[in-house]
Chains A and B, each alone.
Chain A
């Protein structure tokens, strides 16, 4: 135990002093937090402000559309109404000169707008915002006109077209925000993804570093490979926990300050489960990474092998969709029990809506069993692999290593 402690302590103190650690600890929450606030702020305040032309033979619905787009709820566009005799070539050249962002042609034979067809030509086909603003505007205008034709009064139309607001009631009767809880779940998912992978790979890298610098030859002259491996996993994991802990505290402080405003907050339950599943996921992935590190001789070789670590994580990402749409479906329940996915997916489900307690307990038990198996295989590979230089071993060789004494 003394040796494991010494190895872990060295690994911890050396890593925590590095610039990389300090930068990641400060920068990642800043970037993430900043990104979220910027995204929500932009989503709230951005209005389409393109300049388009409408080519119409009849005054309506063109005039109403102009009104809707220039002073509507979400748009402050500039709209020019042009007669149908306008040459399209002129408009095209105006678009090429960037004076116009697009033009809409209304083909209409009768004054009744319902029979009209619409062609919209945007300057850039990637300009989805303008196109959808035009579509929404037309929809609004045509609906209003249809209602007016059927004898509805202006105030009736207004109240009919008034958007519906649904209040989401969260736990404890407080008014919640379902978008915010999705955002939190996503943040936690990607944070988990990042730290598990990052610290798992750190273990592999640290093994390769000792292998290339041959330090372990000195170390193995006093201590057992298993102690070295255990100390390393504990030390690097402690660094990860420290970092995650700092982030959680920062998130809590941020939530206290700005959380109320943005509606984004991480509950204590979410934080506790995040730390539990991080510890489990990290141990599992770092045990597997240790075997990869012991098999390879350089970072480049490690990179060829790290897809074995990435694959289950990618699979987890594919599962986000199904879990979001129904977090208690059979599929969600099954995939969140797969030990290599549970740290990410069970935690994701917890941050969406609490699964049954036995599901959580089962997933933790399964991860622990898998950790035991992976660790015993890796420590055997590690024991032999760190003494092998040169050629990268093939699978039969690795299997033979497991039998060495």
Chain B
């Protein structure tokens, strides 16, 4: 049973179509990446998932039921724009947000303290939010979304503005939560994070779904036509007829193949010429390349330049 199921949803603001015919499903224990350029309808889609807005048509199912507000107590949400009361003390704030999710004050306090310890911000609990650094505020927001132990965790850009140490801390936490069987949806522009973390992705642009499915499946749709060779000696193998384009950065060659099958003959030709091969790697296109290619296509090449910010 999928945790979130969107069926053909559509949302129009005045004349602007925010989301058009979006269908997707998120299974328990999945890390789901929602990708798309700015203004593509990611936040609009997320808002419909948690009932902040209602779709003009189509259905939203949460936990196998049509959307109901009571289901929201099983959802944790980290909005893109961080939102905390500036003047409120961290602990009071966490308890308040926990109570809004139906926790008792005692439970909320206990869990807040435990999470602050886990997120290494225990020293901040008596401070006002405005006195904290951005990264700390983000961790508090992160905790606030998780206090009530939600089964569905929705995070809009969870890692933006964090240093690598803290970003890793948050990522590890999310991975732990996935192991516990929670469904996690997050949106990001950082494709390396998506490649590392996500089991499934959906790519939307201009309100339309361009791609969706498991990361493996999507990548397998693209030819493994990239080749990196680290070598010394003779470089005549770079003239092999199977190569569409080759760049040689003095001993590191980046090659785009005409055909996946050309890789082995090139290796054979290089060895036959006596070239010393230190590394030979056939690669699939990166998610970033897939992203840019698809988004460009959706806009039409001419206007894509300014809008794609992967």
Contact = CB atoms under 8 A, between A and B. Distances in A.
A223 B52 CA distance: 9
Contacts of B88: 10, 14
Interface string B70-99: 001101010101111111100000001101
B83 A213 contact: yes
B282 interface: no
By DSSP majority rule, is chain B's interface helix, strand, loop, or mixed?
loop
Given A6-B96, A213-B85, A214-B83, 6 more contacts: A2-B102, A6-B99, A213-B84, A214-B79, A218-B144, A221-B77
A88 interface: no
B170 interface: no
B77 A218 contact: yes
A222 B72 contact: yes
24 contacts: A2-B102, A6-B96, A6-B99, A14-B87, A18-B87, A213-B86, A214-B79, A214-B82, A214-B83, A215-B84, A215-B85, A216-B83, A217-B81, A218-B83, A218-B97, A218-B141, A219-B100, A221-B52, A222-B73, A223-B100, A387-B47, A397-B14, A400-B14, A405-B54
Interface string A101-128: 0000000000000000000000000000
A214 B113 CA distance: 24
Nearest to B88: A14
A337 B47 CA distance: 44
Name the residue among B73, B82, B145 with the largest chain A CB count within 10 angstroms.
B82
A3 B53 contact: no
Interface in B41-61: 47, 50, 52-54
Nearest to A2: B102
Interface in A89-148: none
Given A6-B96, A222-B72, A222-B100, A217 B83 contact: yes
B79 A218 contact: yes
Contacts of B52: 217, 220-221, 387
A10 B72 CA distance: 21
A139 B139 CA distance: 83
Contacts of A10: 88, 96
Nearest to A386: B52
A210 B93 CA distance: 14
Contacts of A2: 102
A2 B69 CA distance: 14
Across chains A and B, which 5 residue pairs bring their CB atoms closest together, nearest first? A214-B83, A217-B79, A214-B81, A221-B77, A215-B83
B85 A221 contact: no
B53 A387 contact: yes
B6 to A, nearest CB: 17
Interface of B: 14, 47, 50, 52-54, 69, 72-73, 75, 77, 79, 81-88, 96-97, 99-102, 141, 144-145
A400 B14 CA distance: 9
A224 interface: yes
A42 B87 CA distance: 44
A405 B55 CA distance: 9
Contacts of B100: 3, 6, 219, 222-223
Nearest to B130: A213
A217 B73 CA distance: 15
Name the residue among A2, A221, A224 with the largest chain B CB count within 10 angstroms.
A221
Interface string A194-215: 0000000000000001100111
Nearest to A18: B87
Contacts of B75: 221
A194 B47 CA distance: 39
Nearest to B102: A2
A397 B83 CA distance: 26
Name the residue among B54, B73, B87, B101 with the largest chain A CB count within 10 angstroms.
B87
A220 B53 CA distance: 10
Interface string A323-352: 000000000000000000000000000000
Interface string A344-367: 000000000000000000000000
Contacts of A18: 87
Contacts of A224: 69
A1 to B, nearest CB: 13
Nearest to B72: A222
Nearest to B99: A6
A210 to B, nearest CB: 8
Interface in A232-269: none
A220 B49 CA distance: 12
A221 B99 contact: no
B127 to A, nearest CB: 15
Given A10-B96, A214-B81, A400-B14, A221 B87 contact: no
Contacts of B145: 218
B82 A221 contact: no
A253 B224 CA distance: 87
A14 B85 contact: yes
A392 to B, nearest CB: 15
Nearest to B75: A221
